[in-house]
Amino acid sequence: MCAEPVTPLEGIFLARPDEVGKGITLAVKDLFDTAGLVTTYGSILFDEHVPTVTAEAVQRLEAAGYADVGKTNLHEFAYGTTSENPHFGTVPNPLAPGRIAGGSSGGSAAALAAGLAEAALGTDSGGSIRIPAACCGVVGFKPSYGLVSMLGCFPLAPSFDHAGPMARDVAGCAAMMEALAPGFEPAELDLGDVEVGVAWLERAEPMVRERVEAAAVQFLRTRSLDLPLALKVDAAFMGEVADVHRELFLEHTESYGENVRTKVERCLALSDAEYESSAAERERYRERFQQAAAGVDLVLTPTLVCVAPPAPTDELAIRPRLTSLTLPFNATGWPALALPCGAADDGLPASVQLAAPPGEDARVLAAGAALERALSLG
């Protein structure tokens, strides 16, 4: 057992096993318990925590032939979008030094981008798989809510939390889903097989928008959608965070980093009425979203409105911008895939997001694979 990074890039791994088994190399976000290996949840409070039981998602991957090469750094308690961790260091972006790796699964994305793993496991509560995938130029998939087990994973906001795969291509994510979700069956489709609704392009910066538009036209049947954003669900999210951290935070306030401490304090200050109003709004939002997307097989949007921002950054200020196009799919539970779609500002990758109603995971991944092939030929 080793708690020191042993990679060429400081800040990616928090612990690595003494010996790595044979198999597809897998980086595991340090939010998942791993028996016999330090699991910190990104917090100094757990810097010597060694679980006795491995999280179910990790067990499933290991049983399918994946070999854990290490626990990856993350935003503290997975509550952030940059993976600038005050306790264990900032996760670097191997693709773009000087830029954030994204969060909260930043270490998992960075391990892929640096060639330190062939596959990675992350979590996503407001975009935490897809944001770092976009920043680091890799692929990340947030499955339908509840499809992949969260057992043995430290929660953030339980009804928003998802576990899911990250890889260098869509096929890598689809293969992981076969292990992670019992009964999951991959599908295949052509770009002409689906009708795609395109939304939120106007919210992206010009070069990102251009790349996402170029991805959209690869599909033969598209139309514009007026999809609502998840503007009034924050208090529902925050109320769940408050419930998770209430006792721990009150006892160990000073052990929380400033960024997460500020957010948890705001969560704990939330009134019951604010939470209940937001939870009710979330239910209405799900209905409006479903109605707005009626008649299409897939939704296509930018993953992020921009390329990876410079580091260091003010996470509290940039957070709403980075989660604006990803949080809707946590609020609704829809499966959503992020994949790179060409160079934008400063030569950094733009990312396109594909999503569909709950249960359509195979369709999303099949469409992503078809789009990936078309973009590689373009």
Positions marked catalytic: 29, 104, 128
DSSP 188: -
Cα of 125 vs its chain's centroid, Å: 7
DSSP 219: S
Burial pattern 99-133, b for ≥16 Cβ within 10 A else e, equals bbbbbbbbbbbbbbbbebbbbbbbbbbbbbbbbbb
Say if residues 146 and 342 touch (Cβ distance below 8 Å): no
Paired residues of 121 in beta bridges: 28, 165
Residues 6 or more apart whose Cβ sits within 8 Å of residue 234: 278
165 cis-preceded (ω within 30 degrees of 0): no
Tell whether the torsion through CA atoms of 17, 142, 61 and 241 is positive or negative: positive
User: Taking the C-alpha atoms of 99, 367, 59 and 39 in order, what is their torsion angle to the nearest 10 degrees?
Assistant: 20
**Ranges assigned E (strand) in the chain:** 13-15, 24-29, 66-72, 84-85, 89-90, 119-124, 139-142, 162-167, 195-198, 221-224, 298-302, 336-343, 349-355
The SS3 call for residue 107 is helix
Cα of 171 vs its chain's centroid, Å: 17
